[in-house]
């Protein structure tokens, strides 16, 4: 059987428009296109793990609206176990996304049903967590729920990954001892560490501070500059594969999902980082969130080329 990854997190319907550039405050721009695409950091990471070789379960909430039905169907189409995906009253999560001609994006999230995922709800699916090899969390569901999952994952002896997105301030101090792999991007690493992160050197300083705070290991994703891995012994930089970027939406989620799938399959940290980077690089060559996520065969073909 393939390895088991459990994702506890968000599901959003992404409302995506493309424009020549991102609007300034108070400005109205003409958009070039519009699409509704299944997304949410939790769902994206679940889809990435599934397409990249893992057996995946999703724990989360969707609304009792049409978007909720579509979000569930998108996961089922990827053979993701949805027994722990709960429908609640109200609207599903929504993300409003603008993508410019340089493939950069700006995103506003409305939590909707994601805000109703409680520790008690997760506890009701403890058997799903217990069956995991790797547990992934993000910050698009309530913080107390994330804290519960991290600690429960540590109690169960699982490999616990936290992608602290979106992060605007330091994490609770008592979380760090439950995190095996903390995977922020540059802005999130800055928010967590209180240090500016705008170069490889500053990323090393931020990663070292997060290790000192108690995180097991830290991987800071640096976009086209690749990623920085840090543990108690030091730091290592992994350059990114060279590709032509079209849309960076879900690139970080693809890295996290690919990294988790590779770890769960028994790959080393270095192999898992490189695998996740190839998957993320392929994702930015395509538009959209979940539609951009590559398959295992896509990654294997790229590595062989």
Would you please indicate which residues are annotated as catalytic (active-site) residues?
253
Q: How many CB atoms lie within 10 A of CB 11?
A: 34
Q: How long, in residues, is the chain?
A: 305
CA angle 75, 79, 81 (to 5 degrees): 75
Dist. CA 261–CA 264, nearest whole Å: 5
Tokens 């080329």 belong to which residue? 305
Dist. CA 207–CA 17, nearest whole Å: 34
Residues 6+ apart with CB under 8 A from 125: 59, 83, 84
Residues 6+ apart with CB under 8 A from 113: 11, 61, 62, 63, 68, 87, 88, 90, 91, 92, 93
Which SS3 state, helix, strand or coil, does residue 43 take?
A: helix
List phi, psi (to 5°) of 59.
-115, 120
> What does the radius of gyration of the chain's CA atoms come to, in whole angstroms?
18
Which SS3 state, helix, strand or coil, does residue 109 take?
A: strand
């Amino acid at each position: 059987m393939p390895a088991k990854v459990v994702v506890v997190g968000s599901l959003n319907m992404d409302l995506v428009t493309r424009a020549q550039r991102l609007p300034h405050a108070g400005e109205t721009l003409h958009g070039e296109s519009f699409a509704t695409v299944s997304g949410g950091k939790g769902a994206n990471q679940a889809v990435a793990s599934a397409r990249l070789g893992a057996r995946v379960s999703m724990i989360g909430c969707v609304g009792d609206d049409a978007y909720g039905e579509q979000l569930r169907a998108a996961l089922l189409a990827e053979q993701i176990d949805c027994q722990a995906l709960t429908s609640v009253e109200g609207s599903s999560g929504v993300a409003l996304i603008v993508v410019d001609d340089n493939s950069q994006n700006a995103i506003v999230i409305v939590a909707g049903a994601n805000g109703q995922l409680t520790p008690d709800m997760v506890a009701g699916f403890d058997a799903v967590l217990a069956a995991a090899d790797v547990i992934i969390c993000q910050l698009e569901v309530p913080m107390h729920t994330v804290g519960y999952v991290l600690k429960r994952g540590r109690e169960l002896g699982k490999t616990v990954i936290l992608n602290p997105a979106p992060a605007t301030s330091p994490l609770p101090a008592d979380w760090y001892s439950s995190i095996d792999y903390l995977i922020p991007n540059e802005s999130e690493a800055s928010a967590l560490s209180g240090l500016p992160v705008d170069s490889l050197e500053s990323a090393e300083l931020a990663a070292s501070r997060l290790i000192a705070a108690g995180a097991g290991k830290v991987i800071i994703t640096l976009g086209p500059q690749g990623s920085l891995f840090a543990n108690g012994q030091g730091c290592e930089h992994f350059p990114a594969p060279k590709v032509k970027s079209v849309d960076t939406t879900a690139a970080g989620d693809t890295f996290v999902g690919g990294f988790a799938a590779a770890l769960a399959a028994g790959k080393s940290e270095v192999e898992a980082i490189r695998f996740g980077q190839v998957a993320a690089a392929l994702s930015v060559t395509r538009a959209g969130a979940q539609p951009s996520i590559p398959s295992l065969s896509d990654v294997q073909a790229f590595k062989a080329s």
